[in-house]
Structure 1
Amino acid sequence: MTGAALVVVARDAGVRTATTRELDRRYGCDYRVVAAADPEEATAALRACGGPAVAVLFGALGDGDPDGLDVLRTLHGRHPGAVAVALVRWGAFETARPIFEAITVGRLDRWVYAPQGRADEEFHRSVTEVLDEWSSRQGGGFEAVRVVGDRWDPHAQHLRDQLTRNRIPSGFYEAGSPEGREMLADLGLEDPRLPVVLVRFRPEQTVLQAPTDLELAEAFGLFDPLDPDAVHDVAIVGAGPAGLGASVYAASEGLDTLHLECEAVGGQAGTSSLIRNYLGFPTGVSGSRLAFSAYQQAWAFGTRFSFMRAVTSLGGEDGVHRLALGDGSSVRARTVVVASGAAWRRIGVPELEAFTGRGVFYGAAVSEAPAMAGRHVFVVGGGNSAGQAAVHLSRYAEQVTLLVRRASLAETMSDYLIRELEALPRVDVRYRVQVAGGRGSDVLETVVLRDLDTGAQTEEAGMLFVMIGSEPRTDWVAGTLARDRWGFLLTGPDLAGDGVAPAWPLARPPALLETSTPGVFAAGDVRQGSVKRVASAVGEGALAVTLVHAHLAALAGSGAR
């Protein structure tokens, strides 16, 4: 990344000079700052300094640069890997509408106010966010963990996905590449069990061969023993938006909070490359960044997290709930918030199951996007997650095709995403089509598509990302908590429905998010009737904590401990 260019294009000499000066002063040691009045001058200047990679394109928009968005679009076509940023004067509010429109249809990544003076920290905060976005797209840099393995090995893909979603800086090396062979030789491994994981951030480097999730967590120092006799105020199962929302509010309000997560923070939302409609992030935020920030927030308030432990059952007595864990241990809590979320539904085509992780990916699989360079990628699904994945993959793949069973996206996808997909030259949408099969040797090579109206089938080269709905992760409470026929947990007034579980045992009615077991609450995608939005999941997590307080108060009033 050293030596990449920050390009400022502005006919307005004042904006160009002020911006170039601030960029050079703050970032000149690590980046080349190039200033120009138009695209041709910028191209010539870049050529003169050796043609470095372009990290950010700053294009002025205003009275002196009325065609600034067109200029940016021209330059972005030449440097598609750069982040395109509109540069405006403070108070030029007439530029707002065209900027927002350009962001909506994917022709612009961000906008910033031009610096107002020396050391304009608001400007530099925005620039730092832009540079962080660009560097995260490139990979490289500090590697706390290194993985050596086969690119299409499902275990290696799982590890890459876990590391990426947990925002652990890591590097992946093909075992057969010169770098991979050299790394294995340096470690003294002649015939290792792949993938090999090198944990570099601990006082003593640890080398793991084909590690399980538990072995990896232990090597990271995350596998602390849990006290089976301690009784926590609340145990939260699942670290998606609902669980993290509950964790932040519970811990910040002084509750003894234990948080259990079997995989990575963020849940399905954590795989989204860019969430544009979450409150407070006008230019969007990646799901992993949002989730990791929430995790840090809860941790700072005092939540104790336990990773890589799956909860296998729920029981208890005398008002205390016991959660059995996959490693044979157990924990106890006075209340429980079930926020275990949902898993992506399988596509149901037998011959494709063998290619899972080797050309067939469930969810956005953000860590796999760079490997799609030069390929045709099919994204299956009609919801926001599928749309966000198509947008993200279009930065790498030669062509992205969104496959939709319906005749329209209007009922299932946000309008801003539909408009962005329509504007992206590398993305096309095919309606009334489904995946009927696929073929390949070591990896998926071709996909068989069926037209739902005519029945005609075609076979096309490409890889597959599947986001066709979700199934609640509630098998571990089957027969214990009331569920509907699809497996979603019934709560509050819905407990009067047709769920299969013990009847509600108390004289008082269940609280709004309370399950069929008093003191056990559900929040987020796992609950019947939930709104499949990040904001609503966070809100349900917060509401669950209010109900937890009420339940704990009732226990205290009854003398229960």
Structure 2
Amino acid sequence: MAIAKPIILAVDDDPQVLAAIARDLRQEFSQEYRILRVNSGPEALETIKELHAKEEPLALILADQRMPQLEGVELLTASREFFPDAKRVLLTAYADTEAAVRAINSARLDHYLMKPWDPPEQLLYPTLHDLLAAWQVTNKPRFDGVRLIGFQWSPLSHELKDFLSGYMVGYQWLDYETNPEAQALVKARGFEPTDLPVIICADGKAVANPSKADLANSLGIANQPLQDMYDVVVVGAGPSGLAAAVYGASEGLRTLIIERQTPGGQAGTSSRIENYLGFPTGLSGAELAHRAWTQAVRLGAEFLAPQEVNDLCIQDGYKVLTLSDGREVKTKAVVLTTGVSYRTLDVPGMDRLSGAGVYYGAARTEARSCDEQDVYIVGGGNSAGQAAMYLATYARNVYIVIRGANLAASMSAYLIEQIRNTPNIVLMPFSQIKEVCGQDHLEAVMVDINGTVEKRPARALFVFIGAKPSTEWVCDQVLCDGKGYVLTGRDLVADPRYAQSWKKTREPYLLETCVPGIFSAGDSRAGAMARVASAVGEGSMAIKFVHQYLDE
């Protein structure tokens, strides 16, 4: 959406004078400004109110003094309520100069001009150029994108921020409690605080209490399949799913990828991945996911989000996926890349404060709210280390709470070294969180430090305590191990406990589940490595096996 030009508003009740003003203004300023003209004070005030409601930029008001119903000084004074920074110029005859001089103080007039101003090159344009240049210096252009208005400690506001960030949608966050602009926007659109959060799209459309599906529709993300039958459907858009979609689409397969949240999975929440091949300075998980998503779509893959698969069944050899909205998707082959979800921390207060100071995963969208505050991280893996390094650029102190003596057993050496060299990151060994405290948001944590419990103030708590596979919905169809990870390939025939699950005469392909034509890749597969590179490799390999299956 193109940014609107700032406006110059000319007001005079004499049609001939107004036409002359508009003509001269257009001649000099029309390339950079829009010229509006109004022939009465009351109409001009209504125009100003409309411009304010539409958030249009008003740079300068040029008003004649002697107008019936509403004089120029009165109009310019009233306009301050709506556009306090706009420049105000009064047009006067010689007899009105005394009133104009008084108005410089009473109406905070910026200038007055005598009529007539012929030639305008000497008597009009230099003054207006100076005023407009001064306005441009102080003017803060309206953010011309998606705006999210809500409460800082609202879990739904947090979810929507994460959703927008996950799709790398530029947006402006406005806290209703502390931002007058947010309050004015909500009031101008007829909403109440109980309607928050509110999304205002770039086209001006506003939606109160939007679901993620509403937001996806507003952003143009597809939420329903376009074809009756696919060659392969990829469930999950983490690194393995995105790799499968890229290779499936590039090799001519009718490919659909379904994601219940945002692209990237857990890797997508990482603030910086520094050990992925080909990126010597590292890159964020969101950036990697967005590149892969864009690549898959460019090559012809369809992307469905936010959409969840609730069931999978076999009909006449085809796989039928049932979506959360009841629709069905038919496909010849399926690649399960559902990934894992963070395990919850089972201590008092966690459920109540989740999304209001307590977060699972990196929650990069909340980092700025931690400015010069103390934050806590539970966990000692790479995800925790990457989050600690990112948060340390904002927080006063970052405390890493671990049960063991050090990070050596669970974190990469490069991250341990970075943490050691960051003065505001404090490692707390032999420690664990016992309780989180606060009314409507996190205020403090109870920490057991080697047997001694302390209550410590905290702005935020980020939890990284392992993961569990997101396979609950499919475990009744494909074989999983005792922890819920999907069994594939040789695991199905090498172990006598599972040998009867494979019915075909050929051996299962490397990533194939006990159901022919259903494959599993990435972190939810039994035996997979929890690394982005290996997930990408498995997603790519899965398409090779899909081809072999389809050629049978």
Deviation at 1:389, TM superposition (A): 0.0
What is aligned with 1:68?
none
Distance 1:474 1:369 in 2: 31
- Partner secondary structure for residue 314 of structure 2: strand
* Higher-Rg member (1/2): 2
Residue of structure 1 equivalent to 2:63:
none
Deviation at 1:319, TM superposition (A): 1.9
Shift of 1:205: 3.2
Distance 2:383 2:476 in 1: 31
Is 1:432 the counterpart of 2:433? The answer is no
Quote the Cα distance in structure 1 between the aligned partners of 2:383 and 2:465. 9
Aligned letter for 1:291?
A: A
Whole-angstrom CA distance in 1 between matches of 2:463 and 2:446: 14
Q: Tell me if structure 1 keeps the 8 A contact 2:339–2:470.
A: yes
Instruction: State the TM-score, normalizing by the size of structure 1.
Output: 0.71
Deviation at 1:274, TM superposition (A): 0.6
Alpha-carbon separation, structure 2, partners of 1:151 and 1:367: 11
Aligned 1:151-190 pairs, distance under 5 A: 151-176=152-177, 177-190=179-192
Give the Cα separation in 2 of the matches to 1:265 and 1:490: 24
- SS of alignment partner, residue 287 of structure 2: helix
CA positional deviation for 1:545: 0.6
Q: How far, CA to CA, are the matches of 2:500 and 2:348 in structure 1?
A: 37
Q: Is the 8 A contact 1:155 1:195 kept in 2?
A: yes
Paired residue for 1:329? 327
Distance 2:277 2:236 in 1: 22
- 1:222 is displaced (CA, Å) by 2.0
Instruction: Give the 3-state SS of the residue equivalent to 2:451 in structure 1.
Output: coil
Q: Distance in 1 between matches of 2:167 and 2:480?
A: 30
1:164 match: secondary structure: helix
**SS class of match (1:285):** coil
Alignment partner of 1:493 is 2:473: no
Query: What is residue 146 of structure 2 aligned with on the other side?
Result: 145
Q: Give the residue type in structure 2 aligned to 1:290.
A: L
Say if 1:282 and 1:143 are closer, same or farther in 2 by CA, change over 3 A. farther
Kindly tell me: are residues 142 and 507 of structure 1, through their superposed partners in 2, closer, same or farther at Cα, counting changes over 3 Å? farther
The structural deviation recorded for 1:283 is 0.6
Give per-residue Cα distances to partners, 1:347-406, cap 9 Å, x unaligned: 111322211011110000000000000111111111100000000000000000111122
- Write out per-residue CA displacement over residues 291-312 of structure 1, whole angstroms, 9 at most, x where no aligned residue: 1000001111000001111000
Aligned to 1:217: 216
Give 1:244 deviation, angstroms: 0.5
Task: Label 1:461 to 1:268 Cα distance change in 2 as closer, same or farther (>3 A).
Answer: same
Query: Residue 499 and residue 385 in structure 1: after superposition, are their counterparts in 2 closer, same or farther (change >3 A)?
Result: farther
Which position in structure 2 is the counterpart of 1:199? 201
Structure 1's unaligned 5+ residue stretches are 1-139, 555-561
Match of 2:476 among 475, 479, 486: 479
Distance 2:333 2:158 in 1: 36
Structure 1 residues 211 and 396, CA, compared in 2 at 3 Å: closer, same or farther? same
Deviation at 1:501, TM superposition (A): 11
Deviations 1:205-261 (A, max 9, x none): 32111111122222222235325x722010000001000011111111111100101
Equivalent residue, structure 1, for 2:520: 522
1:476 is paired with a residue of what secondary structure? coil
1:465 is aligned to: 462
Shift in Å, 1:493: 1.4
Q: 1:501 & 1:207 partners in 2: Cα distance?
A: 56
**2:336 is matched with which residue?**
338
Shift of 1:181: 0.4
Alpha-carbon separation, structure 2, partners of 1:381 and 1:237: 28
Paired residues of 2:447 and 2:454 also in contact (CA < 8 A): yes
Q: How many residue pairs get matched?
A: 409
2:472 matches 1:456: no
The separation in 2 between residues aligned to 1:506 and 1:350, in whole angstroms, is 50
How far, CA to CA, are the matches of 2:175 and 2:189 in structure 1? Answer: 15
Give yes or no for contact 1:490–1:499 (8 Å, CA) kept in 2.
no
TM-score (ref. length: structure 2): 0.72
Cα distance change on mapping 1:508 and 1:143 into 2, 3 Å: farther
Using the alignment, how far apart are the partners of 1:214 and 1:263 within structure 2? 10
Kindly report which structure 2 residues correspond to 1:372-411, keeping only aligned pairs within 5 A, or say none: 372-411=370-409
State whether residues 192 and 209 of structure 1, in contact with CA within 8 Å, keep that contact through their aligned partners in structure 2.
Answer: no
Report what 2:350 is aligned to.
352
Q: Secondary structure at the match of 1:507?
A: coil
- Aligned partner letter, 1:239: A
Deviation at 1:141, TM superposition (A): 9.1
Match of 1:305 in 2: 303
Look up the equivalent residue of 2:457 and give its one-letter code.
A
Task: Report the aligned-residue RMSD.
Answer: 1.8
- Structure 2 unmatched runs, 5+: 1-140
Deviations 1:51-84 (A, max 9, x none): xxxxxxxxxxxxxxxxxxxxxxxxxxxxxxxxxx
Post-superposition shift, 1:485? 1.1
Are residues 218 and 417 of structure 1, via their aligned partners in 2, closer, same or farther at CA, if it must alter by over 3 Å? same
Does the 8 A contact of 1:485 with 1:499 survive in 2? no
Deviations 1:118-156 (A, max 9, x none): xxxxxxxxxxxxxxxxxxxxxx99553111110010000
**Matched residue of 2:186: which SS?**
helix
Equivalent in 283, 289, 292 of residue 291 of structure 1: 289
CA contact (8 A) 1:143 1:169 kept: no
For residues 92-142 of structure 1, the C-alpha deviation after alignment (integer angstroms, 9 at most, x for no partner) is: xxxxxxxxxxxxxxxxxxxxxxxxxxxxxxxxxxxxxxxxxxxxxxxx995
Contact 1:481 1:517 in 2 (8 A): yes
Kept in 2: contact 1:405–1:434 (CA 8 A) = yes
> Which of 210-219 and 521-530 deviates more?
210-219
Where 2:501 maps in the other structure, the secondary structure is coil
Structure 1 stretch displaced more, 292-301 or 313-322: 313-322
246 and 499 in structure 1: CA distance in 2 versus 1, 3 angstrom threshold: farther
1-structure distance, mates of 2:510, 2:398: 42
CA contact (8 A) 1:193 1:209 kept: yes
Q: Which amino acid aligns with 2:475?
A: A
Per-residue CA deviations over 1:407-427 (Å, capped at 9, x if unaligned) read 221121110000000000110
- The whole-number CA distance in structure 2 between the counterparts of 1:185 and 1:194 is 12
Conserved 8 A contact 1:262-1:307: yes
Maintained 8 Å contact 1:263/1:307: yes
Q: Is the 8 A contact 1:501 1:516 kept in 2?
A: no
SS at 1:521's partner residue? strand
> How far apart in 2 are the matches of 1:458 and 1:520?
51
Distance 1:196 1:318 in 2: 46
Taking a change above 3 Å as real, the CA distance of residues 378 and 199 of structure 1, as seen in their structure-2 partners, is same
Q: Which amino acid aligns with 1:185?
A: K
Conservation of the 8 A alpha-carbon contact between 1:361 and 1:464: yes
How far apart in 2 are the matches of 1:262 and 1:398? 35
Q: Is the alpha carbon distance of 1:169 and 1:423 closer, same or farther for their aligned partners in structure 2, counting shifts above 3 Å?
A: same
